[in-house]
Structure formats: C-alpha cells, structure tokens
Amino acid sequence: MQMQPDAPPAAPRRFRLNGRDRSVTVPDHALLIDTLRETLRLTGTKQGCDGGECGACTVLIDSVPRLACLTRTGECEGRVVETIEGLARQGRMNRVQRAFHEQLGTQCGYCTPGMVMAAEALLRRVPHPTEPEIRAALAGNLCRCTGYVKIIAAVQAAAGEG
Amino acid sequence: MEPLAPFRVLAPASIAEAVAAAAAHQGARFLAGGTDLLVNLRHGIGAPGVLIDLRSIPELRRLGPDRGIGAAVTLAEIAAAPPMLAAYPALIAAAASVAGPAHRAAGTLGGNLCLDTRCIFYNRGEWWRSATAFCLKHRGETCHVAPTGHRCHAAFSGDLAPALLAYDAEMRIAGPDGLRTEPLSALYAEDGAAHLRLGPGEFLAGVILPPDPWPAAYAKARTRGAIDFPLAGVAVALRTEAGSVAGLRVALTGTNARPFLLAGTEALLGTPVDAAWRDRLGRLVQKQVSPMRTTLAAAHYRRRVAAALAGRVAAQLAEAA
C-alpha cells in the first residue's frame, strides 16, 4: 500500500488469527484484506471486486462472515479472525473443504475460499440447514463458473457429515 | 480499486464526545458499518482525514428501551426479528432484504437511512468518472442523466427508510444544539447531491417506532434476487375497518433522490381493496415517482414496477386483515 507523507501513524492491532495471537502494526485506514494478503502473506483470502459486491474475500470474525475488503484491520482488535488457511488441521482439509473437493463444488476456484468460509459459518450456526437456508447464507458470494448447484450440494454433503 | 486515502478513526464513548469530535475536526465524516462509505472513499469520492466511528457509543448500539433503535444497531440484528420488533414486520423484512449476510453483519440502521444516493455515473472508480469529466454530484459540472438540467438525479436506495416512513417513525438527530426528535421524513430532500438534511456536525442517533403500528409490509424489485439495491421498493401500512381501507400510508425508495411518503392517499380511503382500487393506487404511484436513467434497468420499468408492487403489497395486507 502506498503511504502518503501525511499518513496517520501505524499502531499495533492485536487479534487472534487462525488460532494464534497476532499483532500487526498498521494505520487506521488499513483494510483487513490488505493486512491479510500483503502484511501477513495469507493470500488464501481472495481479492475479487474489492468493493463489497462479490464475497470472494469473506472471512469470519467471531464466527460471523464479514467482507475483508470492507473491514478495517483496526476493527479486529481483540476479536477472533479466521481465514481459509485456518480450516485445515495437520494438513487435512476440514469437512466443508473436503465436501467442495469431492462434490466438484469448485471450478476456477477464485470464489471458493469465500464460499467455504460462508458455508462454514452457516454450519456452525445451523448444523443441518435447508436448501433455502444454504442459498440465503451464500447469497453474497458470487460464482461466475458454476450454476451454484454443486456448491449447494457440497454444503449439504458437509452438513450430512457433521 | 484505488487504495484508501489515509484517515484516522476516532472512537467516541458518548454522543457528546462524538459531537465534540466533529466540532474539533472540520470535514470529518461519521462512520458506522462502512459498507457504503468505505466503498465510496475507495472510489475517490471524498478524502476525509478523520472518521468518527459511531459504533463505539454503547447508547447507539441498543435496541430499546421502549421503541427506540440506536443508529449503530446492525441490519442483521434487526433482520433477526428480536421480540421488540414483533409488531413491525415491514422493518424486519426491509432489513433482511439488504444485500448479503456479510453486509448485514456490518451495515447499520443509521447507515442504511443515511445511505448515499446512487447512479451509474457516480458509483464508479475515479478513472472511470474522470473519463466522463466527473458528474454534477461530485467534482463535475454536468449531470449525465439529465445534461440540460441543474440538479443531481442520483436515486436513494436504502430499504429501511420506506418501512419506517410507512410506520410513521420519528428520528433522533444529535448535533451541536443537543438532541432533537423529528418525523423521519424531515431527514430527506429531493436533491441527489444533497439528499440529507443534516447540519454541520449533526448525525442520526436513532429512530423511535410508534406504538400500535398498522399492519405493514415491504417489497422490492431488484436485478439480482440474491443481493441488490432496490430498483424500486415499496412499503405499505394499511388499516381496514369492516373490509374498507381506513388508513393508508405508502412509502417508496429507489425511484427518487429521497425516500418519500405518497401524497393523496386519503382519496383511497373508505373503499375495499379491489382491482379498481389497485389501479387508482398504481396511477397515484406512477404520478409521484420520478425514476431517471440512474440504473441499467430502464426508468419506465422502475415506474411501472413501483406501481405494481404497491398494489400487490396493499392487496396482501387487505387479504390478511
């Protein structure tokens, strides 16, 4: 990110990220998407429209899906942030990731991290969602390859496993 | 998209601190969920050096007491249909219809009521707007929607305002002169470049719902059913007595520079809701909405869909009565 000469000073922001306490020193106007991708090099969270329209940058903050492109890093102070990198355990995909893989719920893959995080949040809140509940939970996640059918099947498969 | 111009964020702990912060920092903007403001800032629309985050004020994050809703209550909290809002289904439906879950988790009541107006010539990156010499709303001389006119026609696209107008809700405005309570309709002006009647340093602190609301409902037409701003949105509050319409308020969004209450609805009282009544309501709506070429969908479609939605929602309410 380009810094202006009159840029406000950076300050440490502490939050829990993917199970680890982290502290990053960034200014107030730093956005979570840039802190994750540029500062922390966690590039699993995708930068799509970068304007709150596509859902590709969906992460979880306190288990609630949020758009990293519209969230300031400063807002995360003291909270629990989870990205796609935090789901696998010891190299094993979690149930949602595995279901997307097995049900072919991914094509080009660009929307997948956001889709998986939105689905993960839904399944934590509603372990056995109906199809309308799945569609509502993924309403903000745009996919331009699939017809969403296999994405929904993947979430249903993950729910069946849970 | 362009990087954000640098700003500092202040986190006042009270309404008084927020007012003082605004007085101390000329040109500061009030921030809540940021789903509208941060996108516009990234488009190079304004570069305030200071943002005042209203979410740090506990009083503004409260549902209640009584029938008050703080401006920083999120749309997700309203859409979750808390018991306090059980008598206000149109408000719940309007909140649930805003964008997607992640937007509703961040976006707030106050942010949706103070949403900036929208237009295909305005909600664009700086490079795009520079190619058209900008527009009347920001930095430019000409409104590309109506080049011979001298007024901005960008449309207000919030979903909560029509529901709250139909309920006849009041608002609380905080500012240098303290807190004042006024009808919500007093917040808006029919000017796409200056649609909010807020003085320097003033901000919306919350709304107050009326007791004993009439039955009401909200419906909107949009390009993408899953997530989109309204091309037209209509809230209707309708009270019947012995099968006839005894009270009617119709509020619209997405068609004008401000959300507004339909005038002349008293002419529709005293008769049942039938096809002829719906035609009369539809004509009244078509006369008062003024959609312009601010969306990719045609303006005449938005005019007709506003009328159709008004009739449909009114008929559903009459049937349920």
Listed in order, strand segments (DSSP E) in A27-156 are 58-61, 64-67, 80-82
Fold classification of B8-55+64-208 (topology level): 3.30.465
What is the C-alpha separation between A55 and B264, in angstroms, rounded? 43
pLDDT one-digit tens code per residue, B31-53: 999 999 999 999 999 999 999 99
Does the domain at residues A11-86 carry the CATH identifier 3.10.20.30?
Answer: yes
Tokens of A35: 């802190």
Are B105 and B96 spatial neighbours (Cβ–Cβ below 8 Å)?
Answer: no
Q: In the CATH hierarchy, which fold is given to the domain comprising B217-320?
A: Enolase-like; domain 1 (3.30.390)
Cis peptide before B65 (omega within 30 of 0): yes
Question: Residue B307 above 60 pLDDT?
Answer: yes
Residue A17 to chain B, least CA–CA distance (Å):
19
Determine, for residues B102 and A28 on separate chains, whether the beta-carbon distance falls below 8 Å: no
Instruction: Give the mean model confidence (pLDDT) for residues B9-22.
Output: 98
- Percentage, residues of chain B above pLDDT 70: 100
Per residue in B114-132, pLDDT tens?
999 999 999 999 999 999 9
CB contact under 8 A, A141 and B100: yes
- Chain B positions in Cβ-Cβ contact with residue A2 (cut-off 8 Å): 3
Q: Which of B6, B76, B103 sits opposite A52 (nearest CB)?
A: B103
Between CA B133 and CA B118 the distance in angstroms is 18
The verdict on A47 touching B (C-beta cutoff 8 Å) is no
Contact B222, B228 (CB under 8 A): yes
The answer to whether A65 contacts chain B (CB < 8 Å) is yes
**From CA A1, how far away is CA B226, in angstroms rounded?**
33
Q: What is the mean pLDDT of residues B149-161?
A: 96
Note the pLDDT of residue B272. Answer: 97
* Identity of the residue in B3, B7, B33 whose CB atom sits nearest the CB atom of A28: B7
Mean pLDDT confidence for B103-108:
98
- Options 3.30.930.10, 1.10.1740.10, 3.20.19.10, 1.10.150.120; CATH of A95-161: 1.10.150.120
Write down the pLDDT at residue A8: 76
Chain B contact present for A29, CB below 8 A: yes
Res A7: pLDDT: 63
Interface of B with A in 123-182 (CB under 8 A): none
Query: Is B239:B247 a contact under the CB 8 Å cutoff?
Result: yes
The pair of three-digit structure tokens given for residue B283, joined into one six-digit string:
């004509």
What average pLDDT score do residues B60-87 get?
A: 97
**Do B89 and B216 meet the contact criterion of CB atoms below 8 Å apart?**
yes
Kindly provide the ipTM of the predicted complex, given to two decimals.
0.94
Domain boundaries, chain A: 11-86, 95-161
Question: What are A42's two structure tokens?
Answer: 């966690």
Burial label, B117 (beta-carbon count in 10 A; 0-12, 13-18, 19+): buried
- Chunked in runs of 10, what are the mean pLDDT values of chain A (162 residues)? 60 97 97 98 96 97 98 98 97 97 96 98 98 97 94 97 68
pLDDT at B269 over 60: yes
Higher pLDDT, B2 or A86: A86
Tell me the C-alpha to C-alpha distance, in Å, between residue A44 and each of A63, A95, A113, B247.
18, 17, 7, 55
A10 at B interface, C-beta within 8 A: no
- A8:B227 CB<8 A: no
- For residue B183 the two structure tokens come to 């009808």
Chain A residue with minimal CA distance to B102?
Answer: A66
Structure tokens at B9: 């964020």
In the chain, the amino acid numbered B116 is: D
* Whether A118 and B9 lie within 8 Å, measured CB to CB: no
Encoded tokens for B130: 């520079």
Pairwise CB contact (< 8 Å): B227 & A140: yes
**Which chain B residues have a beta carbon less than 8 Å from that of A6?**
6
Segments making up each domain of chain B, as ranges: 8-55+64-208, 217-320
Determine whether the interchain pair A67/B6 forms a contact, defined as Cβ–Cβ distance below 8 Å. no
CB-based contact, B11 to chain A, within 8 Å: no
Predicted local confidence at residue A3, as pLDDT = 45
Contact criterion met (CB < 8 Å) for B101 and A67: no
Q: Is the confidence at residue B223, as pLDDT, over 70?
A: yes
pLDDT at residue B57, as a whole number = 98
Judge whether A33 is closer than 8 Å to chain B, CB to CB: no
**SS3 category, B217:** strand
Residues in B touching A137 (Cβ below 8 Å): 101
Are the folds of B8-55+64-208 and B217-320 the same?
Answer: no
Which DSSP state fits B60?
Answer: G
Give the number of beta-carbon pairs within 8 Å between A and B. 81
Average pLDDT, chain B: 97
Q: Do B5 and A4 touch (CB under 8 A)?
A: yes
Partner A contacted by B275 (CB < 8 A): no
Contact B43, B51 (CB under 8 A): no
Residue owning tokens 């969004």: B253
Tell me what the mean pLDDT of segment B19-23 comes to: 98
- Asked if the C-beta of A73 comes within 8 angstroms of chain B's C-beta atoms, the answer is no
What are the E-state strand segments in B55-141?
68-70
